[in-house]
Amino acid sequence: MTFPFALLTSPEHQQALPQSCDVVVIGAGIIGVMTAWELAKSGLRVVVLEKGRVAAEQSSRNWGWIRSQGRDPAELPIMAEAAAMWRQFARDIPEDIGLRQTGVAYLAAKPAEVGRYEDWLPNAKEHGLSSRILTTKQTADLMPKAAQTWAGALWTDSDMRAEPWVALPALARAAVRDGVIIIEGCAVRTLDISGGKVAGVVTENGRIAAPEVVLAGGAWSQLFLRRHGISIPQLSVRATVAATEALPDVYQGGAVDNRLAWRRREDGCYTLAPSGFHELYVGPDAFRALRGYTKPLLADPLGTRLLPAAPKGFPDAWGTKRDWAADAVSPFERMRILNPAPNRAKVAKLARDFAATFPELGTVKIKTAWAGMIDTMPDVVPVVDRAPLSGLTIATGMCGHGFGIGPAFGRIVALMVRGEAAGYDMSRFRFGRFTDGSTLVLGPNL
Query: So what's the pLDDT on residue 108?
Result: 98
Which of 125, 157, 189 is the endpoint of a domain?
Answer: 157
Q: What is the pLDDT of residue 5?
A: 56
Coil, helix or strand at residue 368 = strand
Convert the pLDDT of each residue in 313-323 to its tens digit. 999 999 999 99
Tell me whether residue 439 is in a domain: no
CB 14: neighbour CB atoms within 10 A? 11
- Considering the domain architecture, whether residues 280 and 353 belong to the same structural domain is answered as yes
pLDDT tens profile 110-142: 999 999 999 999 999 999 999 999 999 999 999
Would you say residue 271 lies in a domain? yes
DSSP 8-state secondary structure symbol assigned to residue 301: T
**Contacts of 119 by beta carbon, 8 Å cutoff, 6+ apart:** none
Does residue 4 fall inside a structural domain?
no
Assigned domain for 11 exists:
no
> Measured between alpha carbons, how far is 99 from 117 in angstroms, rounded to an integer?
26
Q: Are residues 76 and 121 in the same domain?
A: no
Q: Same structural domain for residues 136 and 253?
A: no
Residue 3 within any structural domain of the chain: no
Note whether 301 and 378 are same-domain residues: yes
Given the DSSP bridges, would you call strands 235-244 and 270-274 parallel, antiparallel or unpaired?
antiparallel
pLDDT of residue 445 exceeding 80, the answer is: no
CATH of the domain at 181: 3.50.50.60
Confidence bin at 298 (pLDDT 50/70/90):
low
The reply to whether 135 falls in a domain is yes
What pLDDT sits at residue 2? 44
Residue at a domain's end among 125, 141, 157: 157
Q: Do residues 405 and 298 both lie within one domain?
A: yes
Q: Which pLDDT value is given to residue 304? A: 85
Residues 422 and 320 in one domain: yes
Beta-strand pair 254-256/260-264: antiparallel
Q: Position 324: which residue type? A: W
Q: Assess whether pLDDT exceeds 70 at residue 297.
A: no
**Boundary (domain end) residue, out of 124, 157, 190:** 157
- One-letter amino acid of 253: G
Q: Are residues 378 and 322 in the same domain?
A: yes
DSSP helix/strand/coil, 159: coil
DSSP of 34-46, one letter per residue? HHHHHHHHTT--E
Q: What average pLDDT score do residues 359-381 get?
A: 96
Clarify whether residues 112 and 219 are in a common domain. Answer: no
Question: For residue 8, is it within any domain?
Answer: no
pLDDT of residue 196: 96
- Flag whether pLDDT at 410 surpasses 60: yes
328 found inside a domain: yes
Closest CA to 51 of 194, 219, 170: 219
pLDDT number for residue 296: 72
Round the average pLDDT of the chain to a whole number and report it.
94
**What is the domain count for the chain?**
2
- Note whether 408 and 98 are within 8 A (CB): no
Identify the residue with better confidence: 81 or 439: 81
* pLDDT tens for each residue of 251-295: 999 999 999 999 999 999 999 999 989 999 999 998 888 777 876
33 and 127 inside one domain: no
Cα-Cα-Cα-Cα dihedral sign, residues 339, 344, 346, 348: positive
Inter-residue contact 51 to 1 (CB < 8 Å): no
Residue 440: partners with Cβ closer than 8 Å, 6 or more residues away: 292, 295, 378, 379, 434
Does residue 59 sit in the same domain as residue 137?
no
Sign of CA dihedral 293, 294, 300, 301: positive
DSSP 8-class letter at 18: P
The percentage of residues in the chain with a pLDDT greater than 70, rounded to a whole number, is 96
Domain region containing 137: 104-157
Mean per-residue pLDDT, 398-417: 97
Q: Let me know whether 60 and 139 are in one domain.
A: no
Looking at the structure, tell me whether residues 371 and 234 fall in a common domain: yes
Please classify residue 404 by burial: count the beta carbons closer than 10 Å to its beta carbon, then call 0-12 exposed, 13-18 middle and 19+ buried.
buried
